[in-house]
């Protein structure tokens, strides 16, 4: 989308947003504190940057984050109390008195005070062209130059009044001004703004570092960059995810790996999110091809490699940045469409749309359960037995024996001949998840039992994650805690507590992590423990 067209779209929807009622109701941040629930979204689109004495403020359409140059770590993200609040911010400045953030929208302003997490906003007549502070009068508040003239928002006020221009205006730097100061940014535009998969970003914001040692540069599509003094090519500064759809999670030391789908201009990516949210690192593959996949299904790790079940096969992604490798039908998989993957004795077991396979430690693909050509939605293992969730219930494979097998009780009862979409172990109890409920095998008696219905509250079930004496269960309408024999408790609902439909979840350290189609959510377990 061209810059003029993008500006026109922002203007139209910005007026609709700020002039009328909020696009959505109050967000659950009025119910949950920032520490209890944090939403980590797509930060590849930067809308403004403001550099203060201690911190650098960076805005996206959904949140504000703070970079601390002294400690080289992030703070936030901070979401406003109303959905859509930040959607049309295009400039920002740091108040020199209290280090709060003033933001310009197409027809108004927003104030964020991070020390007390207070948000305020207002509107002005006409369209906002730029905002300014007055170096001659730091206590004067914010000035807005609009198509209807100058307006001033005095400190502590929520009303913009007609005003004379500031005596010594301090205004945000535009990307065009930065390019004039650093022509290399234009000369090297193709290299700087190229995204994985041959996509192209554009410059959107700029701010000089307070210590004058470089420039922070915002882009639409390539995230935040930093250009040190004397350099020709800026370096990436990664925060958050590379796309909005957090499809698959893998628990790792001190954090989680997140697989995000390719959506619109956002490339497919794998991002490591540290549990304290102070650092992030993303793997996006080569510039020409990216990570190749479009949709992720499940993620696991083995040694230094991540193994991703996807729509193009199994993608092996070394975490040291080495070249990726794709295993598909041409290399021995039953089907390119992979549904599940699990590590197993130095190898990975793969479930596809048309059968199952194993990739051994020499990266050779070997068939498993020869003769089975159905869908394998889930996979897990115990000793020499590999269990699969299929359209007709749980089945298992044994080493050296052809075919998949099913316990007699399951094969004889129609109640158990249903799709099993996820599998987990609770100590030595095998637990499966159907569309509607949990089923499990009592290790003492080997008897199989169906639990109570969960989908009535949660919608069609998607994933389970072991926690304490039960599981966190994700469904299309929310997540909840349940044991194998209990109804759902501690229900967290889509639209009230979750920003989107849950797609995957895992427990790591003190947190429950939930991947949704609108970002990654980190819940503090003490805040939601049933």
Domains of the chain: 3-237 (no CATH), 246-528 (2.130.10.10)
Residue 528 — φ and ψ, nearest 5°? -120, 0
Considering only residues 391 and 14, tell me which one the structure prediction assigns the higher pLDDT: 391
Residue 25 pLDDT class (50, 70, 90 cuts): very low
Look at residue 34 in the predicted model and tell me its pLDDT. Answer: 85
Confidence (pLDDT) at 198 = 64
Confidence of residue 24 (pLDDT cuts 50, 70, 90): very low
Asked whether the predicted pLDDT for residue 13 surpasses 80, the reply is: no
Which positions ≥6 away from 189 have C-beta within 8 Å?
none
Residue 254 contacts by C-beta under 8 Å, 6 or more apart in sequence?
A: 274, 275, 509
pLDDT over 80 at 31, yes or no: no
Q: What is the pLDDT of residue 355?
A: 93
Alpha helices in 156-255 (DSSP H): 175-181, 184-187, 189-192
DSSP state of 358: E
The mean of the pLDDT values for the chain is 90
Give yes or no for residue 23 having a pLDDT over 80. no
Q: How far, CA to CA in Å, does 469 sit from each of 194, 427, 466, 481, 506?
A: 48, 10, 8, 10, 15
User: Is-contact 473 464, C-beta < 8 A?
Assistant: yes
Task: Decide: pTM greater than 0.75.
Answer: yes
pLDDT digits (tens, 9 = 90+) for 457-487: 999 999 999 999 999 999 999 999 999 999 9
Query: pLDDT tens digit string along 265-308?
Result: 788 899 999 999 998 999 988 877 788 899 999 999 999 999 99
Per-residue CA distances from 369 to 210, 274, 327, 392, 430 (Å): 63, 38, 19, 15, 20
- Band of pLDDT at residue 4, cut at 50, 70 and 90: very low
> Which pLDDT does position 22 carry in this prediction?
36
Alpha helices in 20-104 (DSSP H): none
Instruction: Give the model's confidence band at 26: pLDDT under 50 very low, under 70 low, under 90 confident, else very high.
Output: very low
The answer to which of 6-20, 87-101, 210-224, 264-278 has the lowest mean pLDDT is: 6-20
Identify the pLDDT of residue 109: 96
| Residue 370 pLDDT grade (very low, low, confident, very high; cuts 50, 70, 90) | confident
CA neighbours closer than 13 Å in the CB half-sphere of residue 135: 4
Whole-number Å distance between alpha carbons of 38 and 29: 9
């Amino acid at each position: 989308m061209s810059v003029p067209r993008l500006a026109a779209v922002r203007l139209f929807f910005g007026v609709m947003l700020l002039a009328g009622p909020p696009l959505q109701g109050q967000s659950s941040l009025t119910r949950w504190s920032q520490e209890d629930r944090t939403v980590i979204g797509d930060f590849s689109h930067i809308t403004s940057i403001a550099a203060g004495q201690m911190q650098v403020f960076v805005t996206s359409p959904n949140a504000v984050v703070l970079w601390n140059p002294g400690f080289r770590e992030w703070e936030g993200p901070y979401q406003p109390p109303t959905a859509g609040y930040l959607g049309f911010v295009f400039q920002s400045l740091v108040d020199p008195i209290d280090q709060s953030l003033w933001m310009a929208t197409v027809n108004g302003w927003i104030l964020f005070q991070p020390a007390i997490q207070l948000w305020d906003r207002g509107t002005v007549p006409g369209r906002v062209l730029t905002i300014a502070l007055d170096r001659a009068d730091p206590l004067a508040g914010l000035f807005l130059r609009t198509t209807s003239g100058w307006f001033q928002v005095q400190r502590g006020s929520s009303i913009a009044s007609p005003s004379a221009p500031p005596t010594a205006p301090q205004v945000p730097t535009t990307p065009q001004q930065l390019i004039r100061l650093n022509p290399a940014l234009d000369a090297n535009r193709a290299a700087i703004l190229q995204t994985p998969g041959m996509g192209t970003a554009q410059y959107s914001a700029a701010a000089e570092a307070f210590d004058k040692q470089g420039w922070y540069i915002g882009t639409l599509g390539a995230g935040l960059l930093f250009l040190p003094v004397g350099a020709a090519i800026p370096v990436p500064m990664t925060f958050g995810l590379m796309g909005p759809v957090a499809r698959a999670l893998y628990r790792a030391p001190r954090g989680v790996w997140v697989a995000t789908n390719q959506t619109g201009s956002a490339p497919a990516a794998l991002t490591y999110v540290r549990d304290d949210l102070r650092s992030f690192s993303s793997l996006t593959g080569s510039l020409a091809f990216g990570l190749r996949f479009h949709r992720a299904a499940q993620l696991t790790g083995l040694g230094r490699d991540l193994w991703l079940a996807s729509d193009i096969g199994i993608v092996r992604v070394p975490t040291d940045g080495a070249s990726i490798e794709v295993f598909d039908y041409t290399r021995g998989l039953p089907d390119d469409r992979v549904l599940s993957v699990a590590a197993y004795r130095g190898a990975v077991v793969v479930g596809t749309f048309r059968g199952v396979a194993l990739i051994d430690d020499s990266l050779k693909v070997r068939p498993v359960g020869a003769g089975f050509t159905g869908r394998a939605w889930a996979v897990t293992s115990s000793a020499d037995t590999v269990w699969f969730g299929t359209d007709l219930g749980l089945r298992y494979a044994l080493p050296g024996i052809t075919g998949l097998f099913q316990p007699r009780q399951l094969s004889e009862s129609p109640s158990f001949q249903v799709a099993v979409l996820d599998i987990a172990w609770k100590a030595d109890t095998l637990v499966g998840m159907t569309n509607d409920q949990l089923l499990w095998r009592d290790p003492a008696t080997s008897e199989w039992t169906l639990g109570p219905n969960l989908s009535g509250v949660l919608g069609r079930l998607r994933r389970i994650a072991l926690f304490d004496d039960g599981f966190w269960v994700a469904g299309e309408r929310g997540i909840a805690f349940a044991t194998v024999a209990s109804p759902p408790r501690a229900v967290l609902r889509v639209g009230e507590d979750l920003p989107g439909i849950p797609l995957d979840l895992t427990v790591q350290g003190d947190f429950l992590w939930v991947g949704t189609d609108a970002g990654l959510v980190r819940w503090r377990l003490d805040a939601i423990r049933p």
